[in-house]
Amino acid sequence: RELLETWVRQRLHEAKLIVVANREPYIHQYVDDRLEWYQPASGLTTALDPVLRACGGTWVAHGSGNADRDVVDPFDRIAVPPDQPSYTLRRVWLTKEQEQGYYYGFANDTLWPLCHNAHVRPKFDSHDWAIYRQVNQHFANVVLEEVGDDPALVFVQDYHFAMLPRMLKSARPDLTIVHFWHIPWPSFESFRICPWHAALLDGLLGNDLLAFHTRYDCNNFLETVDRTLEAKIDLEFHAVTRGGQRTLVRAHPISVDPEHADALAVDWKFEERRLRRRYRLGKCKLLVGVDRVDYIKGIPERFRAVDRLLTLHPSLRGQFCLLQVGAPSRVHLSTYRSLGDDLERLADEINWKYGDEEWKPIVFLHEHVDSAGVHRLYRLATGCVVSSLHDGMNLVAKEFVAARSDLRGSLVLSEFTGAARELTDALIVNPYDLDAMANAMFRCLTMSEAEQEARMFRMRQRVLAHNIFRWAGKLLADAVQVQEEQRTPWPNDNHSDSGVWPALPSYALGGSR
């Protein structure tokens, strides 16, 4: 964290750092006339808040809380975190119609299913598309206001803003624009069904640097551009040149803040008694799942695997429980609402089939749990189950590993997550294969302590060393390189991957059991 802070200050010189994301990191709301704030359940905000805390700057986002307008200054700004201000949040207001067309419509009902191989058909609606562009322009105007006449590095987040980079670049060619795409990039064959695919690519090529979680996503993107537009693809430097502008395309796998896990450490023995009473867990072993309720997360597959496991191993009745946190998400979309209902029904069916007065195999908490609560579950679990059908990275897998300084517990992890490429000591599974899932859960519940320790040690080495600060440092190092090249225009192809970010010392492993 300190290294990132000093490094950013030195390298950005006088340039402002502006992050643009749809989701704000802190939401203010009224609860029974009381003003409260909370942090939303979102991988993106979990990852970026610690970075902004370390570097300072401005986060531009949609103000979505019902008390958000009442706490900002006349320029729609507020210092955050509310209890320990260290950077500025600039809120952007959207009408209901804009939120519907841009967020629920084009971003989440079109681009989200288009980019994830989860077999949900994307919706293509020209009205949503028009509003998406309109809202991207609205955000571009706000960013330009925040930048003023100064130099700036604009760090755009995700699939909500595919058109924004081109809009910014046209208005201010001198800005350095970096974009992190948090979800997978699909194959050309999948992407080209979108009637506006060429326009989306043009918008994204307004970036100086476009980053994905994995090299696989980068290659898919480069191939999509190659087969759609007149552009020069440079496979050696992973760059696209078009109309005199160059966009670097790089893989930067995102991660978590390990210090966050340390900060949440509590008296585990006391917590364990409390939690076991609260969820009526008795003495059974705990498997935990933590997700937004989203069809890409493979939660029904996880529940069915519990069913399969109990059929294959009836002796496990009463011996374990899957506690699934399902934070409601995008509930205005019918696919999401009905998924929540289906999960409630499925959990009931399986509990009816195997459970009794004393014990239920699945506890489904269809609610948002606070981050300390999530951390406690990670600490108490024998295993964490991540069964996404497709996921850019999946931070839950890395959070679980970061939480286990006791070197206990094992991770069941879908091979279709970005995380599976790094956490090779997890029990890697195909979530569509119920027998494989049930077997992985069985191995997880019966793994020896020595094997848990060996696997967890290696996974922790990876997550603690490649943490969120290193992610931000390496990505911003690439951005600074672009910035410096803009001052001394290329050709100057002396790129090495993130060469200017210094090597980080690894964190100490292990600790209190």
Nearest Cα neighbor of 361 from 470, 459, 427, 280 is 280
> Is 42 near ligand GDG (CB under 6 A)?
yes
- Candidate segments 28-36, 43-51, 226-234, 429-437, binder of ligand GDG by CB under 6 A: 43-51
Q: Based on CB atoms, which residue is closest to ligand GDG, 327 or 476?
A: 327
DSSP state of 391: B
Q: Based on CB atoms, which residue is closest to ligand GDG, 294 or 307?
A: 294
> Is 374 near ligand GDG (CB under 6 A)?
yes
Distance, in Å, from the CA atom of 422 to the CA atom of 87, rounded to the nearest integer, reads: 31
Nearest Cα neighbor of 180 from 469, 392, 422, 395 is 392
CB of 292 to ligand GDG, least distance (A): 5
Retrieve residue 484's tokens.
Answer: 């410096």
CB of 393 to ligand GDG, least distance (A): 3
Binding mask 162-191 for ligand GDG (x = CB under 6 A): --------------------xx--------
> Is 392 near ligand GDG (CB under 6 A)?
yes
Hey, is 215 helix, strand or coil?
helix
CB of 110 to ligand GDG, least distance (A): 16
> Is 160 near ligand GDG (CB under 6 A)?
no
> Is 325 near ligand GDG (CB under 6 A)?
yes
Q: Based on CB atoms, which residue is closest to ligand GDG, 179 or 292?
A: 292
> Is 381 near ligand GDG (CB under 6 A)?
no
Q: Name residues whose C-beta falls within 8 Å of residue 171's C-beta, 6 or more positions apart in sequence.
A: 140, 144
Q: Based on CB atoms, which residue is closest to ligand GDG, 229 or 264?
A: 264
The tokens 């590993």 sit on which residue? 401
Among 41, 194, 299, 321, binds ligand GDG (CB under 6 A): 41
Task: Considering only CA atoms, give the Rg of the chain.
Answer: 23
Q: Name residues whose C-beta falls within 8 Å of residue 356's C-beta, 6 or more positions apart in sequence.
A: none
> Is 153 near ligand GDG (CB under 6 A)?
no
Nearest Cα neighbor of 420 from 440, 405, 438, 443 is 440
> Is 403 near ligand GDG (CB under 6 A)?
no
- Candidate segments 330-338, 351-359, 385-393, 407-415, binder of ligand GDG by CB under 6 A: 385-393
- Candidate segments 240-248, 351-359, 388-396, 407-415, binder of ligand GDG by CB under 6 A: 388-396
Beta bridge partners, 80, equal 87
Contact 461, 509 (CB under 8 A): yes
Binding mask 212-251 for ligand GDG (x = CB under 6 A): ----------------------------------------
CB of 83 to ligand GDG, least distance (A): 16
Distance, in Å, from the CA atom of 488 to the CA atom of 321, rounded to the nearest integer, reads: 60
Among 78, 239, 310, 393, binds ligand GDG (CB under 6 A): 393
Retrieve residue 231's tokens.
Answer: 């552009």
The two beta strands, 16-20 and 362-365, are unpaired
Q: Based on CB atoms, which residue is closest to ligand GDG, 329 or 483?
A: 329
Retrieve residue 305's tokens.
Answer: 């695997």
Contact 317, 273 (CB under 8 A): no
> Is 210 near ligand GDG (CB under 6 A)?
no
CB of 138 to ligand GDG, least distance (A): 23
> Is 504 near ligand GDG (CB under 6 A)?
no
Look at phi and psi of residue 76 and say left if phi exceeds 0, alpha if psi is from -120 to 50, else beta. left
How deeply is 81 buried, as exposed, middle or buried, from its count of CB atoms within 10 A (0-12, 13-18, 19+)?
middle
Among 144, 198, 369, 504, binds ligand GDG (CB under 6 A): 369
- Show the CA angle centred on residue 140, arms to residues 134 and 145, nearest 5°: 130
Retrieve residue 348's tokens.
Answer: 């009931």
Distance, in Å, from the CA atom of 83 to the CA atom of 421, rounded to the nearest integer, reads: 37
CB of 329 to ligand GDG, least distance (A): 8
**Residues binding ligand GDG (CB under 6 A):** 41-44, 46-47, 182-183, 254, 290-292, 325, 327, 368-371, 374, 391-396, 399
